[in-house]
């Protein structure tokens, strides 16, 4: 088994950070940029046509090593891939749950098969169903919408703002007497502004699900994401931070919510193991559930990956922080609004241009320089998706969409104008956990050369 997936990083000529920033300051002051991108590349023996490979890759797999290999071998050698019984001593998922809850500073964690499954469990735990409304950001991943639809409740969209996360004012505007919960998504590596969200939610008796799928390891004002609302969920799919290919988890500090989530993930049953964990008899009658149980193979990989999460975050943060610092006062761009920059995991760097035309030209120019630039990625403008506009569930008589409120609700561009505008203006630059200072500097220099020329 090959365990070393660490990528080779490209060489860019040596400059101290001080020299580099001095060059940038000179550029901003209108003096000669010294050295510029062409010179950086020439000194490296490349021309701009042969820019270095700065593919950020996938974070988790870059950290696979003997630890994952050993943990997987233990499961295979014992013949114990099922978490609840079988040969040997299956404890990988149990141990992962215990460490994950400790890491997230929540009382309980539940390992499941995906982030989508974790959202379904969260919605089931909160007892959300027919007649309820759940507020969901207009730009996020499908699962935040489908978990509400599948529960028989009605998704109501709120706009995102320049944080690229829920606009708390629009969240408040969208609350009705039927609103049971809000899904506060920490999108694209940056924490949602949880202060106002929690204040509004508590005042209006709205439950809070934190979706941390894209921000595993992030925090907000010193609190780990997922531990602030009533329930937090995570994804371990390959494009996230720690990964087992697929996988998910839920955390909560409420024993009744935990029991409902544990029941839902296991056909409505509850094993003694969970009752021991919550320290008491069952608080919840059985109900129809699903099978979202995590396998020991997944638990083995995640246990090893979790011990590296802090280093993954530290490396991404270092590069993202340097890039943000290097471009912060550039004219013509506005950086992503970050309610707590220290809690950002540095998955990408974001800045805003005046309109879509400028954004697209900027992306083209950055790509010509081999900088991994794109429009916002990894999520969907849900209200303008065809199946959403037509309120299409898996059966045409889906009760929530055929209720009075369901018939009245209008999806489509009119319900998310602000989000569409934000989406059109933002540029995303991916950050890699193995970027060196030289790569950070190369990206900074490329950004300095480009946006100003396209305005």
Site residues (vs ligand PLP, CB under 6 A): 114-116, 140-141, 143-144, 185, 211, 213-214, 235, 237, 248, 378
In whole angstroms, how close is the CB of 158 to ligand PLP at the nearest point?
A: 15
Q: Which is nearer to ligand PLP, 81 or 190 (CB)?
A: 190
Q: Which is nearer to ligand PLP, 116 or 419 (CB)?
A: 116
In whole angstroms, how close is the CB of 423 to ligand PLP at the nearest point?
A: 15
Residue nearest to ligand PLP (CB): 115
Whether residue 179 contacts residue 206, with contact meaning beta carbons closer than 8 Å, is answered with: yes
Give one word for 41, left, alpha or beta, with left for phi > 0 and alpha for psi -120 to 50.
alpha
Q: Which is nearer to ligand PLP, 237 or 253 (CB)?
A: 237
Q: Minimal CA–CA distance to 171: which of 161, 143, 410, 425? A: 161
In whole angstroms, how close is the CB of 25 to ligand PLP at the nearest point?
A: 38
Structure tokens at 240: 């996230």
Give the integer Cα–Cα distance in Å for 185 and 313.
Answer: 18
In whole angstroms, how close is the CB of 390 to ligand PLP at the nearest point?
A: 23
In whole angstroms, how close is the CB of 236 to ligand PLP at the nearest point?
A: 7
Q: Which is nearer to ligand PLP, 12 or 207 (CB)?
A: 207
Whether residue 127 contacts residue 284, with contact meaning beta carbons closer than 8 Å, is answered with: no
Q: Residue 293 to residues 213, 400, 424: CA-CA distances in angstroms?
A: 18, 28, 39
Q: Locate tokens 């200072």: which residue?
A: 437
| DSSP output for 91-136 | -HHHHHHHHHHHHHT-SEEEEES-HHHHHHHHHHHTT--TT-EEEE
In whole angstroms, how close is the CB of 240 to ligand PLP at the nearest point?
A: 7
Q: Which is nearer to ligand PLP, 264 or 442 (CB)?
A: 264
Q: Residue 210 to residues 15, 57, 215: CA-CA distances in angstroms?
A: 42, 26, 10
Dihedral angle computed from the Cα positions of residues 250, 252, 257 and 258, in that order, rounded to the nearest 10 degrees: 60
Q: Which is nearer to ligand PLP, 237 or 437 (CB)?
A: 237
Give the integer Cα–Cα distance in Å for 138 and 80.
Answer: 42
Q: Which is nearer to ligand PLP, 112 or 420 (CB)?
A: 112
Alpha-carbon radius of gyration of the chain = 23
In whole angstroms, how close is the CB of 141 to ligand PLP at the nearest point?
A: 3
């Amino acid at each position: 088994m090959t365990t070393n997936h660490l990528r080779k990083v490209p060489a860019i000529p040596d400059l101290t950070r001080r020299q580099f920033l001095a060059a940038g300051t000179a550029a901003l002051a209108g003096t000669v940029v010294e050295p510029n991108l062409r010179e950086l590349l020439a000194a490296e023996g490349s021309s701009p046509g042969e820019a270095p490979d700065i593919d950020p890759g996938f974070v988790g797999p870059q950290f696979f090593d003997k630890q994952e290999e050993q943990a997987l071998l233990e499961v295979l050698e014992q013949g114990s891939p099922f978490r609840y019984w079988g040969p040997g001593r299956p404890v990988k998922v149990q141990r992962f749950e215990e460490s994950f809850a400790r890491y997230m500073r929540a009382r309980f964690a539940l390992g499941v098969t995906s982030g989508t499954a974790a959202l379904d469990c969260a919605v089931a735990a909160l007892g959300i169903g027919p007649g309820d409304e759940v507020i969901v950001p207009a730009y996020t991943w499908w699962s935040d919408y489908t978990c509400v639809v599948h529960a028989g409740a009605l998704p109501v969209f709120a706009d995102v703002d320049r944080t690229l996360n829920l606009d708390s004012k629009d969240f408040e505007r969208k609350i009705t007497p039927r609103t049971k919960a809000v899904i506060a998504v920490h999108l694209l590596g940056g924490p949602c502004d949880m202060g106002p969200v929690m204040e509004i939610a508590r005042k209006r008796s709205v439950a809070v699900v934190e979706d941390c799928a894209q921000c595993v390891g992030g925090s907000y004002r010193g609190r780990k994401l997922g531990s602030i609302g009533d329930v937090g969920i995570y994804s371990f799919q390959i494009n996230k931070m720690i990964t087992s290919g697929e996988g998910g988890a839920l955390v909560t500090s409420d024993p009744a919510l935990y029991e409902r989530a544990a029941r839902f993930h296991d056909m409505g049953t509850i094993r003694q193991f969970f009752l021991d964990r919550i320290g008491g008899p069952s608080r919840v009658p059985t109900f129809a559930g699903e099978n979202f149980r995590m396998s020991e193979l997944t638990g083995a990989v995640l246990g090893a990956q979790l011990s590296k999460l802090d280093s993954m975050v530290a490396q991404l943060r270092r590069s993202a922080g340097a890039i943000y610092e290097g471009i912060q006062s550039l004219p013509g761009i506005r950086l992503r609004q970050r309610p707590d920059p220290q809690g950002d995991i540095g998955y990408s760097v974001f800045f805003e241009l005046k309109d879509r035309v400028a954004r697209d030209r900027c992306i083209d120019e950055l790509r010509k320089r081999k900088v991994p630039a794109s429009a916002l990625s990894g999520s969907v403008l849900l209200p303008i998706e065809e199946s959403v506009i037509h309120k299409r569930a898996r059966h045409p008589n889906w009760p929530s969409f055929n209720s009075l409120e369901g018939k009245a609700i209008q999806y489509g561009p009119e319900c998310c104008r602000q989000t569409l505008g934000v989406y059109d203006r933002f540029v995303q630059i991916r950050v890699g956990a193995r970027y060196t200072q030289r790569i950070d500097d190369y990206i900074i220099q490329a950004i300095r050369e480009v946006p100003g020329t396209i305005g």
